[in-house]
Amino acid sequence: MFGYIIRRVLLMIPTLIVISIISFVIIQLPPGDYLTSYAAQLSAQGDTIDAQGLKALEERYGLGQPIHVQYFKWVSGIILRGDWGQSMEWQKPVKDLIWERLALTILLSSVAILVSWFIAIPVGVYSATHQYSIPDYVLSVISFVGVGTPGFLLALIVMYLAMSQLNQSVGGLFSSEFLLAPWSLAKVVDMLKHLWIPVLIIALESTAGSIRTTRANLLDELNKPYVETARAKGLEEGKLIWKYPVRVALNPFFSTVGWSLASLISGQTLIAVVLSLQTTGPMMLRALMSQDMYLAGSFLLLLSSLTVIGTLVSDIILAWVDPRIRLRG
């Protein structure tokens, strides 16, 4: 097991390197470089351009030098000094901007996963044990519609309903008075008040899929002889279902948690833009729009790395649960 983990971690390194190269290439894609637009922006604001300051920045990121030199300066800055570059729009180092956003993104996604399981598992089990009953049909239709409705459109519809019915704006994670305030207990409480709508919307997309999976998996299990045996021995039906076949049917859930986290992070990007949440999505969009490329590139790099790590965690859990995988290696 230990050897398997080591091997997987080593395999991850080349992937991360390629991801960093791609993120860097994307940073470089827009015409012109960051300093030119930075200088243009400064002079547009009427500031005098500090020639020395520009020179220092040029030196720091190796601008004007061959592209691979720039890449190495960028990567070594991140690895050695934790320097993710400078955001020209925010006039701040990127590292001061991203972590809080990233933490909120991960928090939101994790809560959304838990919520979606909390809904999907009982519903899926009910659907499977009452196959072809009316509630099963209704739930199937709902989950089909749920799979088909993209989160950001749902977010739009929810916002419209809240606005027209309750005359309330549901966007954002914080009330306006806490938006710029430092973290405090009151801010956390305020966030929890706002959290549930985005969480439900983000969770819905994966919930619908999870209901289908639980139902299908459990239906496969229910016909197996061991269920019949347990029933024949007189085990109480509810206990029997939840103790044996459900546990087997849920296996793929826990082993794919890393992947679902990754797809949730990707999926919530658009939802976050619609609901203007203080997560990575809207900030990355803004960075892309204003060609604030160090910021955008950092987000791409971080989100991709999260996915890679998520996949790694999934694989390790899978190997831990199912010995056949680690033996095949």
Partner 1 sequence: MANVDNNDMDMLEEGQDVEEVTAKEEKVYVASYWQLMWWRFRKHKMAIISVVILVLFYFVAVFSEFVAPYDPEQYFVQYKLAPPTRIHFIDTEGQLCWPFVYQITQEKDPETYRNIYIEDTETPYPIQLFVRGSEYQMWGLWTMDLHLFGLSVPQAEQGIFLMGADRLGRDVFSRTAYGARISLSIGLIGVLLSLTVGIVLGGISGYYGGIPDTIIQRVIEFIRTIPSIPLWMALSAALPNDWPIVKTYFAITVILSLIGWTYMARVVRGRFLAMREEDFVMSARLVGSSEMRIILRHMLPSFLSYIIASLTLSIPSMILAETGLSYIGLGLRAPAISWGVLLREAQNVRSLALAPWVLIPAAAVIIAVLAFNFVGDGLRDAADPYAR
Binding site for partner 1 (CB under 8 A): 15, 18-19, 22, 26, 29-31, 144-145, 147-150, 152-153, 156-157, 159-160, 163-164, 169, 171, 262-263, 265-267, 269-270, 273-274, 284-285, 288-289, 291, 296-297, 299-300, 303-304, 306-308, 311
Of residues 154, 96, 106, 92, the one with CA closest to residue 279: 106
Q: How far is the CB of 35 from partner 1 (least distance, A)?
A: 18
What letter would DSSP give residue 279?
A: S
In the complex with partner 1, the residue whose CB is nearer, 27 or 246, is 27
Q: How far is the CB of 171 from partner 1 (least distance, A)?
A: 7
Pairwise CA distance, residues 86 & 239, whole Å: 58
In the complex with partner 1, the residue whose CB is nearer, 101 or 246, is 101
Amino acid at 217: N
Cα-Cα-Cα-Cα dihedral of 127, 133, 139, 145, to 10°? Answer: 120
Q: How far is the CB of 63 from partner 1 (least distance, A)?
A: 18
Strands 86-87 and 92-93: antiparallel
Q: How many helices (H) and strands (E) in the chain?
A: 15, 2
In the complex with partner 1, the residue whose CB is nearer, 146 or 245, is 146
Pairwise CA distance, residues 108 & 70, whole Å: 35
In the complex with partner 1, the residue whose CB is nearer, 57 or 265, is 265
In the complex with partner 1, the residue whose CB is nearer, 30 or 53, is 30
